[in-house]
Every structure is written in structure tokens, then in C-alpha cells.
Structure 1
């Protein structure tokens, strides 16, 4: 078999024969670096990744909003001194008094409930967005970990092939020195050794970049040993099942759906702003001992007379935000469906190629 094809075949079969290639090197006590398990990195990812933590705190902050916006405004306490002739005249006549009063603003019924529901829907969206970011970063870390495994195996195989060709070169030089070989064989062996040395340097550089990427995910200069062995796992799902899971279980899509619901509630809340709010107050007025005390009760109502510049535009704003959320939902749905199909077909193609190597190319090349 030509040497070029042999090298290509070796690199393609790294995931398949990784266990056999490094079985001896994986034995304890051989001076190998400790194994860094994927699950260990995933645990650190959730605890340390800045994007995940930012989404977590954003969700936690959003959960504090519903009680705030659905609670009545704070009541007001009023202390009054009404002097006659001078600011602090005392109780010189029946018009002078000192008073204490309270007032409470009450929004039109339904406003607070709608505000709380809208905020709760937004919190639901932030929760699903947090889950989506966790899954996204987990997927990215897994992909980088598998790249790390692949390049580590490629380095092991390339190193062994370089050592083997180096021995071939030594044999060719020895044969040439005693007149049993020809110089082109020596030059060819040297070229092959130099080529593998160059590949090894490039693989080492790629490995360093991948390890730096892993540390960036973990937001820590965590020491990395070597990746654990990876076994083939078949794809048990059909495409229809995958697409159904996208529709019903995707946190990213559920976050968009919750935002659509929040914006729909926002339209109802904006329309409710046409309704007036109320204010009720009570005041006790203390006069002199020779006069009667006063009791003042008052009800006020806000008149939305500027509705053309406030409430009407508020409704239009809410409707525009609702349409924005709907289009974002559709865009996210289309993106997720495409990504699901793309990853599914890639997995199916990988399984077919692996089966082809196992049943065809490997037996034919042996």
C-alpha cells in the first residue's frame, strides 16, 4: 500500500483504534499524564463559565420582578401644620390645625395582575435561555474535548510512525554505507521523516490551541492531563423524533415561546392603561380644645386625557414588540430545525463511513 494512503488511513481510524493504539501507554505507572475525564470538565463548566453564570444571574434577577410590579404602590404619610397669621400660630382659632393623614394609590383593577404575569413570562424566558446556554456551552466543550482526543491520538500515531521511519532511514543509510543500498532510498526515507516531523509540530501546535480553548470555557488555568478513551455510540433516533424533540424540548425555542407569551400579555396591559387609576386619602385634623376636630376623606381619579400621545402609542409599541417576538420565534425555530437536520445527517454519514472502514477498507488493506 502506498505510504501516503497509509498515513491518511491511520489518521481516519484514530477514533476506531484509539483504544488499541494507546492500550500500553494507558497502563498506570508508565509516566503518562493523568486522565482528564469529560464529566470533570463539564462540572467545572457549569460552575465557572462566565456566559453560563451571566445567564444564571440574569434569570435570578428576572424572578425578582413579578412580585415588585404586581404590588401596590407604597402608601404616603402626610404631616400637616396649618397656621393662622404665622407658620406655627398654635390653635388660635378654629381654622388653625395640625393633621396627620395617609393616602394610597390604587391602579385600575387588572393592571397589577397583568404586569406580574408579563414579568413572570419574561422570567420563564430567561430561565429557558439559561438552560439553552448551558446546553450550548456543554455541546461546544464536548466538541473541543473530542478534538483534543483526536489530535492526541494523531500525535501518538505520528510519533510512532516517525520513529519507525527513522529506523528505516538508519537501515537505508547502513545498507548504502556497505554498498547494498542506493542513495535514493536514503533520501526518500529522510524526506518521509522530515515530513512527519513537520506534521508532528503542527499537531502539537493544534493541541496547545485546543487546550487553551478548553481553559477558556472553564475560565480557569486548570491543569489538563490527557483525554480519556472515547467509544463509538450509535445514533438511536430517527429524524422525525429529533425534530419533534426540537419542537417540544428545546430550551432555546421555549425561551422564544415564553417571550411571545410575555409580549401578548404586554398588549393587554398596554390597553388597560386607558383605564384610570385611583387615589384614596384620609386625614385627621386636630384643632384647639375649644374647637371641633376635622376628618377629611378624599378620592381622586387620574384622567387619561393625553391618551393620543401616551396610551395609544403604548399599545402600538406593545404590538410591535409582540410581532418582533413572533418573528424571533420563527427565526429560532427555522435555525434549530436546520441545525438538527445538519447534525443528524452528519452523524448518519459518520456511521456509514465507520461501517465502511470496518467492513471494507480495513479487511481489504490487511
Structure 2
């Protein structure tokens, strides 16, 4: 019976909810976040899209390139001498297309609004990928805790089996207790295999987000503590309506297409072309100078400009509906996560003030009763299993609380979780 002190020590650990720390190095969330911002392909792609869009306004708001012309008008063949004919000449000219005033400015403004939309899309990508990392990090934390607790459960069940064998050998126990402990221990091994697989998948996901090799070792997550959240729902929804990058990107799309309407209307106006030419003739003739003005008239407006204006109007209507759809979606997501946070807070408070201490007391009472023979082995086992289950549920609820806060961050455009 020399294993009894070890058994009661293990049970005392369970009742207190203790956990041994791994020797693996701690990987902090803020370190992974910094790595994600530097290396994540989706974030980098969004940044490059934004940078590319910034180059567009200058291109579309600049005048077309001027044209320079050279003419050799000869008799018989080009490059003949000017003295061969009275009509021979050399000419140098320049021409410039001039869109109707306001067209280029509107094109630049439209492109600028689109660039602003891409900038908000980049910001949204940063926040959303950071949120994705935080969500899997909190999963990693929960799974690490679950594995730690389950391993302790396995060790305690091993002690249960030893104690049952010792009691059975001296005629104080029954064989069913031994078999029950063996079955429970096998079930724990199965549970551990599942948890290990889930943790490996989460670690591979983290490596993927920060652009590491999928099988690169990570270490262990840091301790996660509950983040206080005092914001009311009305304030949260106001922040989403005003600050959500995805919604602001939609608003800039609306603004861009609104400018597109004005630009399409300008296409009903004519464009111009101005040219100047100098002609060098033979020595006995004076040089000639020619200035030309051309007007390009939109005479087929009922087949071209009219449909372009209608297309621009439809694009604007589409962008407005997209804005409303995105707004409704984000407001729903915000309220949904808000309700999850409040529910998690109530459950965590219930675990901390009631379930965990009460189940620990029940286990301590069961241990005392088992020592003196007042309760059977199955009752002790059930109490021990309940404590472990509640501990795992507590950490799972803590992870869900922080995940819900993290999912609010790209909606409210502010940091809500602890780094």
C-alpha cells in the first residue's frame, strides 16, 4: 500500500486544479502577430494591391502624350530635293489631344477613391488575418491545457488501478474496480490521441499564417487570462458602422462609382485636338505655317455614351447594395460575438464561483469517504472525472471568450484582447 501517498497527492492536485508546466519555450502571441504582419502572403498581397492602386490616379488624370510628326513631301520619291518641284517641302509638326475640361480630373478622382477602397481592404486584411491568428492561438492554448489535464487524469487513473489491485489482493476490493480503471484509462488514451491530432493541426495552421514550414516546432502558448470588456452593444454597433475597414472600403467604392456617373456624363461633351506644323519649301518660296483645331463629336451618343451612363448608374446602384449588405452582415457579426462574450462571462463566473470549487470539495469528500470505506470506487471515479471535465470546460470557455473578442477587432477596428 506504499502507493497510497502518491495516489492522494495526485487526487489533491486534481481537487486544486493544478497543472504542471512544460519545459518547451513559450511562444507569445505578440511575437507571432509581428511575424504575420511581415510575412503573411495575404497581407502582403493586399498591400501591393493598395500600392498599385495609388499609381493609377496620376495615369488617368494626365493629358495624352503629344504627337510629333515629320513629313517629307517630294516628287517621284521621298527624300528628293526641294528644288525638284514647287510643291516639295519638309514639314515638322506637333499635336495634342485635349479632353473636354473636367474629364481628366474626374477620372483621377474616381481612381483616387478606388485607391482609398484598396487601402481599407489592406487594413481589413491585416485585422482579419491577425484575428485568425488569435483565434487559432486561443485554440492552441485550450488544447494544450486539455492535453495537460488529460495526462494528469491518465496518471491518476493509473494510481487508481494500482490501489484497486492492492485492495483486491488483501480482500478489501473487487475486481470490477480494476477493470473499470483500465477501461477509463484506455478511453483517456483515445482522447489524448484526438487532442494531440487537433493540437498538431492548430500548430500547422499557425505556421501557415506566419509563413513557416507546416511541421516547424512552435513550443507552448503563454497563459491566457480573461480580458475585461465593458462596452455596451449600442456603442459597439456605432463603432462598427463608423470604423469597420470592410465597410469603409465599400463606402469608397460607392464614392468612386458616384464620380463615375459624373465622368460618364462628361463623355457627352466633345474632345479636341490642336496641331501646329511648319513647312520648309524651296529657297524661292516662303516657309508655311499651319495651325489646326479638331473637334471629336459624340454623334453616336445613343449607342455609346447613353449606355455608358446607364452602366455607370447600375454600377453605383450595385455598390450601394453591396455597402448595405456588408453593413448588415457586420452588424450581425458584431452582435453575435457580443452575445457570445456576455454568455462566456456568465459561464466563466459560474465556473469560478460555483462549479470548480464545489466539484473540488465533492472530490475531496469522496476521497475521504473512499479512505474509510463509506463510498465505492465508482463514486470516487465519477467525482474525479467531473472535476477534470469542468476544468477542461473552463479553459474551453475562456478560449471562446477571447476568440469572440478577437473577432470583434476587425469589426470595431480596435484592439480588444491582451497581446
Pair 1:78-2:69 in alignment = yes
Structure 2 partner of 1:110: 102
1:250-284 residue CA offsets vs partner (Å, 9 max, x unmatched): 11110000000000000100110011110001111
Q: Distance in 2 between matches of 1:332 and 1:284?
A: 60
The Cα of 1:235 is off from its aligned counterpart by: 1.1
CA contact (8 A) 1:234 1:351 kept: no
1:190-231 residue CA offsets vs partner (Å, 9 max, x unmatched): 111111111111100110111111112112125311000111
For 1:79-158, what aligned pairs fall within 5 Å after superposition? 79-91=70-82, 92-158=84-150
Q: Distance in 1 between matches of 2:120 and 2:18?
A: 43
SS at match of 1:284: strand
SS at match of 1:300: strand
SS at match of 2:97: strand
CA contact (8 A) 1:72 1:112 kept: yes
* TM-score, with structure 2 as normaliser: 0.80
Structure 2 partner of 1:285: 279
Pair 1:21-2:15 in alignment = no
The Cα of 1:183 is off from its aligned counterpart by: 0.6
1:59-102 residue CA offsets vs partner (Å, 9 max, x unmatched): 11000000000000000010100112433321123321001111
The Cα of 1:45 is off from its aligned counterpart by: 1.0
1:171-201 residue CA offsets vs partner (Å, 9 max, x unmatched): 2122223333211111111111111111111
CA contact (8 A) 1:94 1:292 kept: no
CA contact (8 A) 1:168 1:189 kept: yes
SS at match of 2:49: helix
SS at match of 1:86: coil
- Residue of structure 1 aligned with 2:243, choices 243, 249, 254: 249
Structure 1 partner of 2:46: 55
For 1:166-185, what aligned pairs fall within 5 Å after superposition? 166-185=158-177
SS at match of 2:293: strand
CA contact (8 A) 1:46 1:52 kept: yes
Where does structure 1 lack aligned partners over 5 or more consecutive residues?
1-13, 27-31
Structure 1 partner of 2:331: 337
1:130-178 residue CA offsets vs partner (Å, 9 max, x unmatched): 1111111111110100000000000000001100110110121222233
Where does structure 2 lack aligned partners over 5 or more consecutive residues?
1-13, 362-419
Q: Distance in 1 between matches of 2:349 and 2:170?
A: 48
CA contact (8 A) 2:74 2:85 kept: no
- Residue of structure 2 aligned with 1:318, choices 294, 312, 323: 312
Structure 2 partner of 1:7: none
Count of paired positions: 343
Q: Distance in 2 between matches of 1:313 and 1:179?
A: 97
SS at match of 1:115: helix
Q: Distance in 2 between matches of 1:220 and 1:288?
A: 76
CA RMSD in angstroms comes to 1.5
Q: Distance in 2 between matches of 1:190 and 1:200?
A: 15
Structure 2 partner of 1:348: 342
Q: Distance in 2 between matches of 1:140 and 1:65?
A: 31
Structure 1 partner of 2:6: none
Structure 1 partner of 2:384: none
SS at match of 1:21: coil
Q: Distance in 2 between matches of 1:363 and 1:291?
A: 113
The Cα of 1:44 is off from its aligned counterpart by: 1.2
